[in-house]
Amino acid sequence: MDVILNIWSSMAFDSLYWGNFVMWGIAFLFIYLAIKKDFEPLLLLPIAFGILLVNLPSEIMTPGEGLLWKFYHYGEEWAVIPPLIFLGLGAMTDFGPVIANPKTLLLGAGAQGGVYLTFFGALAAGFTVYEAATIGIIGGADGPTTIFLAAKLAPHMMGVCAVAAYSYMALVPIIQPPIIRVLTTEKERKIRMKSLRKVSKLEKIFFPIITCIIVCLLVPDAAALIGMFCFGNLLKESGVVDRLSNTAQNELMNIAVIFLGISVGATMPAEVFLSPKVIYIFVLGVVAFAGATAIGILLAKVMNLFLKEKINPIIGAAGVSAVPMAARVAHKIGQEADKKNYLLMHAMGPNVAGVIGTAVAAGMFISVLK
Amino acid sequence: MSLPLYTFVAGITGVFLTMILLQVFITLSSKLAIYIESKTTIQEK
Amino acid sequence: MAAIESPMSGKVLEILVEVGQSIAEDDEVIILEAMKLENPIYAPEGGVVKEIKVKVGQQISEGEVIAELE
C-alpha cells in the first residue's frame, strides 16, 4: 500500500490543478494554429510547447536547476537571444528601399505612435509604467524587441506580451485592411510612386555603419539590438563574408529562435497566465497594432502636404514592422484600387525602417524608466 | 511632469530625432557614395 | 513596337501568354514572386506578343523587359 502511495507521489498528478488543463488547451490551440493555419509557426510552435512543458509540473522551470529555466535565464533574463535574432534579421534585410527613399525612415518612426497610444491605454487600465511600456511595444510588431524590453523592464510580462505580439503579427492581414480603407480615399490609394532608384553597393555598406553610430550614440540603451542588427546587415552587404552572413541568417537564427520560443513559452505557467490582466493585454495589443497602422497612414498624409512627389499613404501602414506581412498587405490594398500599382517594394521601406524605429522606442523606454 | 508624460515626450522626441538624423546622414552618405563611385569610373575612363 | 518592362523585381513563376497571342491592356502577362507573395503583372497596353524575353525561374529586376509587343 505504501509502495503505491510512494509511486503516486513521485508522479506529477498531485500538483495539477484546473489551471494547468486550461493552459494545455491553450498550448494545443497554438499548436493547431501553427501547424494547420500557418500562424507564425517558427515562434508559435516552440512557444506552445514551452507552455505545455511548464504546465506539466516538474522542476523544469525551477530557478537555478530547471533546464528551461537555464535557457530562459541565460537567453532572456540576460537578454542575449533577442539581439542574436536581430543579428540574423539584419543579415536577411535589404535596406535598398530605405536608402533609395530615406523619407520612409520617418514612416518607420510614425508607426511607433501606436506604441505610445497603447502605453497610455495600459496605464489607464491600471498597469505599472514598466508593464505599460512592455505592453506598448507590442505595437512595434517586433517579437525580439518586445521580449528584450520585457526582460529589462517587466520580466513577468514576457510570455503574454510575446504571444500577443506574434499572434497579432499573424493577424496583420485582418487588422490592417479595414483601417487603411477608412483612413484613405480611393484617389489617395491610387497614387503611383516613382520607381525606386538603384542603390549602389557602397551605399548599402555605409547604411549599417552610419545607422549603428547614430543610433548607439543617441540611444545607447538600444545598442544591443541595433548593434547586432547593423552587424548582421554589414555581414550581408559587404559581400566578402557570405559564410558568416549565411550562418547568421540560417543556423544562428534557427538556433536562437528555438531557444527563444521554448523559454518564452515556459514563462507561462497557469498561475501567471490565467489572470484577468491577460485579457486587458490582448485587447491593448489590438489597440497597439491598429493605432500604429492608423498613425503611420496619417503621418504619410501629413508628409504629403509638404511633398511634391506624393507618398501613397497606404505604405504608412507598413511602418508596422511585421516584415514582410505589412508590406504585402499594403501592396494588395494598392492593387485593389489600381491593378497596375505595384507598391510592394515601396512598402518595404517603412516596413524595415519600422524595425529600427521599434528598437529605438524600446531603447528610449529603457533609458527613461530604468 | 509626471513620469508617464515624461516617458512619452522623451520617447517620441527620441524616436523622431533619431530617425530624422538618420535620414539626414543616410542621404549625405549616399551622396558621398555616389560621388566616390563617379570618381572611380572617371579614373577608369 | 512596345516593350513590357517589369514594374518590380522578383522571380518569374509563370508565363501566361504566348508568342503571337493578342492581348489587351490589363491582361495578366506573367506572375512574379517577391516577398513570398505571388504578383500578377498586367499589360500596360494591348498588342500582339512578338517575343517573350524571360524564362520561368529567372530572377528579374525592375525595368527589365519581359516581352515585346507590336
CA–CA distance, C44 with A117 (Å, rounded to integer)? 43
Q: Which residues of A touch B25 (CB under 8 A)?
A: 210, 214
Q: Does B45 score more than 70 pLDDT?
A: no
Q: Which residues of C touch A345 (CB under 8 A)?
A: 8-9, 34, 62
Q: Chains C/B: 3 or more C-beta pairs closer than 8 A?
A: no
Neighbours of A25 (CB within 10 A): 10
Determine contact, residues A321/A357, Cβ cutoff 8 Å. yes
- Give the model's pLDDT for residue A60: 87
Q: Which of C39, C44, C62 sits opposite A195 (nearest CB)?
A: C62
- Give the model's pLDDT for residue B4: 92
A298 band by pLDDT with thresholds 50, 70 and 90? very high
B11 band by pLDDT with thresholds 50, 70 and 90? very high
Distances (CA, A) of A158 to A85, A260, A278, C37: 16, 11, 12, 31
Determine contact, residues A222/A368, Cβ cutoff 8 Å. no
Run of H or E residues at C21: none
Q: Three-state secondary structure along chain A?
A: CHHHHHHHHHCCHHHCCHHHHHHHHHHHHHHHHHHHCCCCHHHHHHHHHHHHHHCCCCCCCCCCCCHHHHHHHHHHHCCCHHHHHHHHHHHHCCCHHHHHCCCHHHHHHHCCHHHHHHHHHHHHCCCCHHHHHHHHHHHHCCHHHHHHHHHHHCHHHHHHHHHHHHHHHHCHHHHHHHHHHHHCCHHHHCCCCCCCCCCCHHHHHHHHHHHHHHHHHHCHHHHHHHHHHHHHHHHHHHCCCHHHHHHHHHHHHHHHHHHHHHHHHCCCCHHHHCCHHHHHHHHHHHHHHHHHHHHHHHHHHHHHHHCCCCCCHHHHHHHCCCCCHHHHHHHHHHHHHCCCCCCHHHHHHHHHHHHHHHHHHHHHHHHHHC
pLDDT above 90 covers a percentage of chain A that reads: 80
Q: Does B36 score more than 70 pLDDT?
A: yes
Average pLDDT of span A232-260: 94
- Give the model's pLDDT for residue A38: 86
- Give the model's pLDDT for residue A25: 95
B44 band by pLDDT with thresholds 50, 70 and 90? low
- Main-chain dihedrals φ then ψ at residue A213, nearest 5 degrees: -60, -50
Q: Which of A327, A339, A345 sits opposite C42 (nearest CB)?
A: A339
- Give the model's pLDDT for residue A217: 96
Q: Does A209 score more than 80 pLDDT?
A: yes
Q: Does C31 score more than 80 pLDDT?
A: yes
Determine the length of chain C: 70
pLDDT above 90 covers a percentage of chain C that reads: 0
Amino acid at the residue A332: K
CA–CA distance, A262 with A249 (Å, rounded to integer)? 20
CA–CA distance, C32 with C39 (Å, rounded to integer)? 5
- Between chains, do A203 and B11 touch, taking CB under 8 Å as contact? no
Average pLDDT of span C43-64: 86
- Between chains, do A331 and C7 touch, taking CB under 8 Å as contact? no
Determine contact, residues A212/A356, Cβ cutoff 8 Å. no
Residues whose CB falls within 8 Å of the CB of residue C10, separated by 6 or more in sequence, listed in order: C32, C33, C34, C39, C59, C60
Average pLDDT, chain C: 86
Please give the radius of gyration of chain C, using alpha carbons only, rounded to the nearest integer. 11
- Between chains, do A345 and C44 touch, taking CB under 8 Å as contact? no
Helices A129-136 and B3-44 sit at what angle, rounded to 10 degrees? 40
- pLDDT digits 0-9 by tens, A70-122: 888 887 776 899 999 999 999 999 999 999 999 999 999 999 999 999 999 99
Beta-carbon contacts below 8 Å between A and B:
106
Q: Contact partners of A by the rule of 3+ C-beta pairs under 8 A?
A: B, C
Average pLDDT of span B31-35: 92
- Between chains, do A368 and B16 touch, taking CB under 8 Å as contact? no
Task: Check CB contact of A342 with chain C, cutoff 8 Å.
Answer: yes
- pLDDT digits 0-9 by tens, A124-152: 999 999 999 999 999 999 999 999 999 99
Average pLDDT of span B5-34: 95
Q: Which residues of A touch B23 (CB under 8 A)?
A: 102-103, 105-106
- Between chains, do B8 and A116 touch, taking CB under 8 Å as contact? yes
Q: Does A32 score more than 80 pLDDT?
A: yes
pTM: 0.90
- Main-chain dihedrals φ then ψ at residue C29, nearest 5 degrees: -100, -55
Task: Check CB contact of B3 with chain A, cutoff 8 Å.
Answer: yes
Quick one: closest CA in A to C25, which residue? A340
- Give the model's pLDDT for residue B43: 73
Q: Determine which of B5, B7, B37 to mutate to test the interface with A (most A C-beta atoms within 10 Å).
A: B7
Task: Check CB contact of B30 with chain A, cutoff 8 Å.
Answer: yes
Quick one: closest CA in A to C62, which residue? A195
Q: Which residues of A touch B1 (CB under 8 A)?
A: none
- Give the model's pLDDT for residue C63: 80
Average pLDDT of span A29-51: 92
- Between chains, do B15 and A103 touch, taking CB under 8 Å as contact? no
The predicted complex's ipTM stands at: 0.91
- pLDDT digits 0-9 by tens, C34-50: 877 888 888 888 888 88
Average pLDDT, chain A: 93
Q: Does B19 score more than 90 pLDDT?
A: yes
Which residues lie across from A290 on neighbouring strands? Answer: none
Higher pLDDT, C7 or A89: A89
- Give the model's pLDDT for residue C9: 83
- Give the model's pLDDT for residue B1: 77
Higher pLDDT, A161 or C53: A161
